[in-house]
A and B are shown apart, each in its own frame.
Chain A
Amino acid sequence: MEKKLYEKIVMNHKPKEHRIKNAFVAFIIGGIVGLIGQGLLDLYTYYLNISTNDAAVFMIITLIFIASLFTALGFFDKMVNFARCGLIIPITGFAHSLTSAAIEFKREGYVTGLGANIFKLAGTVILYGIVSAYIFGIIRYFIMGGA
């Protein structure tokens, strides 16, 4: 049988993902994470009497800490499975990818395992994050004169 015909049979029996439901769940959960972030931001600026910029750093650290803690306690993966991009796209997903890789490779030693593999998933984000920041920085410099 031709490969194209086989592909047709495969496509006939391919389950349909619940894209709309997934997007909706991700939208709501991602929104809640954003809401918590904004709440923390307001809380820190109000009670610690610091600038919004400083409070933003505190807020990010708090979210990273919570996500890492939940990963280490072993239930964040189940939350990710439910919320999908709602938890993967915010900073919580980044923290989760680091912590999960760290837990995973601890058994292979701190140097050859944990150290070498902790950025296994997050490495991509860091590399292309820096590269794109660099490119946009240059564009911004030429268009807006570094302002």
Chain B
Amino acid sequence: MTNKYNNVYLNLVATVVGPVEHNGPLSKRFDRFYEDMYMHEKTFESAEVHLMRESIDILKDKIGKKDRINLFIAGDLQNQITASCYSALKLNVPFLGVYSACASNVEGLIIASNLIDTKKVKNSIVSVSSHNMVSERQFRNPTEYGGPKPMSATFTATGAASAYLSSIKSEIRIESSTIGKVCDMEQNDANNMGACMAVAAANTIYKHLKDLKRDVNYYDLILTGDLGVYGKEILKEYMQKEYNIDLSRNYNDCGVLLYDRENQKEVQAGGSGPVCSALVIYGDIVPKLRNKDLKRVLYVATGALFSPTSIFQKENILSIAHAISMEVVE
């Protein structure tokens, strides 16, 4: 499903990151960073809440007191998205929790854009967070166990990112969005999530271009969320073979951009997690849009839909991708 918007703007963004992201190539683009994975908290779970709250606080400082926040939408990877709930408690405004794994950020942005465009709300904050250690212990082994992983595995990013959307005009416009479908290509390797999600990304990109009757070159840049370096190649080949769309010119992946894979060996195939794409988009792409270095960007966040239980029960890993198109206001 593709929607066009007339009066939705991305006004402000805020990002907070952990140590590994801070040591990556986008180091200077983030608002705040932590050297330590605990962020002065007692558990990794509260550390993630701390990150999200902090990103919201930074965003609120940027917004100033001029507007009352109408709605808060957030998502994360913790069981029952608790990090978002605890952050919402502090913010104390109407709250919607969203989950589509690593595509949660775009899901939030789409919901906010729809509500703003139809004038149901004036503005909204959309936040996402993830924490490497929280995901490790939830989806894999205890954090201190550090069992070796294959090269195709991705590394959950640590951080939180918040965006302020409203109907007040700014440099960047949310132009349209596409809500993706759940896909299944009978992949079931949790250590090769790029392969699980590439098909969903392809499907959503194709649907978006077809619905809006656009050529792939309409966009200066198409960014997928967290396919990683191998998933990126799978997507390119699949797009070419299935839809005859050539992505070689203007396509990249946020998971690949967030880290320096040469010097940060621990990230394996690249970054993942809902915050991974949000950090790259808000940290790197939004400033480029503001400077008019880029004019039209399609942001396709990809999510692998599974639980530790479904993996052990040998179910396939499903995937989803949502897309949002951002344009510079001329």
Contact residues of A with B, CB < 8 Å? 1, 3, 5-7, 9-10, 12-15, 17, 71, 74, 76-78, 80-81, 84, 88, 96-97, 99-101, 103-105, 107, 120-121
Q: Judge whether A13 and B237 touch: CB under 8 Å.
A: yes
Provided the pairs A3-B186, A6-B185, A14-B192 are in contact, do residues A100 and B145 lie with their beta carbons within 8 angstroms?
yes
Rounded to whole angstroms, the CA-CA distance of A17 and B150 in the bound complex is 7
The residue of chain B having its C-beta at the shortest distance from the C-beta of A106 within the complex is B43
Q: Judge whether B150 and A80 touch: CB under 8 Å.
A: no
Q: Judge whether B192 and A10 touch: CB under 8 Å.
A: yes
The residue of chain A having its C-beta at the shortest distance from the C-beta of B150 within the complex is A17
B306 within 8 A of A: no
CB-CB contacts below 8 Å: B224-246 with A: 230-231, 233-234, 237-238, 241-242
B64 within 8 A of A: no
Contacts of A5 in B (CB 8 A): 241
Contacts of A12 in B (CB 8 A): 234, 237
**Extra contacts besides A3-B186, A121-B141, A121-B142 (15): CB < 8 Å:** A1-B241, A1-B242, A6-B185, A6-B238, A10-B187, A10-B192, A12-B237, A13-B230, A14-B152, A15-B152, A71-B144, A77-B146, A96-B145, A99-B144, A107-B42
CB-CB contacts below 8 Å: B130-146 with A: 137, 141-146
The residue of chain B having its C-beta at the shortest distance from the C-beta of A96 within the complex is B145
Rounded to whole angstroms, the CA-CA distance of A122 and B94 in the bound complex is 45
The residue of chain B having its C-beta at the shortest distance from the C-beta of A10 within the complex is B195
What are 29 contact pairs spanning A and B, CB under 8 A? A1-B238, A5-B241, A6-B238, A7-B185, A7-B186, A9-B237, A9-B241, A10-B234, A12-B234, A13-B195, A13-B230, A13-B234, A14-B192, A15-B150, A15-B230, A15-B269, A17-B150, A78-B146, A80-B145, A80-B146, A81-B148, A88-B147, A100-B142, A101-B142, A101-B145, A103-B144, A104-B137, A104-B142, A120-B142
Q: Is the interface of B mostly helix, strand, loop or mixed?
A: loop
CB-CB contacts below 8 Å: B45-101 with A: none
Q: Is the interface of A mostly helix, strand, loop or mixed?
A: helix
The residue of chain A having its C-beta at the shortest distance from the C-beta of B242 within the complex is A1
Contact residues of B with A, CB < 8 Å? 42-43, 137, 141-148, 150-152, 185-187, 192, 195, 199, 230-231, 233-234, 237-238, 241-242, 269
Provided the pairs A9-B241, A14-B152, A15-B152 are in contact, do residues A100 and B186 lie with their beta carbons within 8 angstroms?
no
Closest 8 CB pairs of A and B: A77-B146, A104-B142, A100-B144, A100-B145, A15-B151, A10-B195, A100-B142, A13-B233
Rounded to whole angstroms, the CA-CA distance of A107 and B147 in the bound complex is 21
The residue of chain A having its C-beta at the shortest distance from the C-beta of B45 within the complex is A107
Contacts of A15 in B (CB 8 A): 150-152, 230, 269
Contacts of B148 in A (CB 8 A): 80-81, 84
Q: Closest CB of chain B to A79's CB: distance in Å? A: 9
Q: How many A-B residue pairs have CB under 8 A?
A: 81
Contacts of B242 in A (CB 8 A): 1
Contacts of A80 in B (CB 8 A): 145-148
Contacts of B150 in A (CB 8 A): 15, 17
The residue of chain A having its C-beta at the shortest distance from the C-beta of B186 within the complex is A3
Q: Judge whether B185 and A3 touch: CB under 8 Å.
A: yes
Rounded to whole angstroms, the CA-CA distance of A101 and B242 in the bound complex is 45
Q: Closest CB of chain A to B274's CB: distance in Å? A: 23
The residue of chain A having its C-beta at the shortest distance from the C-beta of B233 within the complex is A13
Contacts of B233 in A (CB 8 A): 13
The residue of chain A having its C-beta at the shortest distance from the C-beta of B196 within the complex is A10
The residue of chain B having its C-beta at the shortest distance from the C-beta of A11 within the complex is B195
Q: Judge whether A81 and B238 touch: CB under 8 Å.
A: no
Contacts of B186 in A (CB 8 A): 3, 7
The residue of chain A having its C-beta at the shortest distance from the C-beta of B237 within the complex is A9
Contacts of A7 in B (CB 8 A): 185-186
The answer, among A3, A6, A13, A103, for a CB contact under 8 Å with B142, is A103
Rounded to whole angstroms, the CA-CA distance of A78 and B266 in the bound complex is 10
Contacts of B43 in A (CB 8 A): 107
Rounded to whole angstroms, the CA-CA distance of A39 and B209 in the bound complex is 68
Rounded to whole angstroms, the CA-CA distance of A107 and B144 in the bound complex is 14
Provided the pairs A15-B230, A80-B147, A103-B144 are in contact, do residues A9 and B152 lie with their beta carbons within 8 angstroms?
no
Rounded to whole angstroms, the CA-CA distance of A121 and B146 in the bound complex is 12
Rounded to whole angstroms, the CA-CA distance of A33 and B42 in the bound complex is 35
Max chain A C-beta neighbours (<10 A), residue from B142, B192, B241, B269: B142
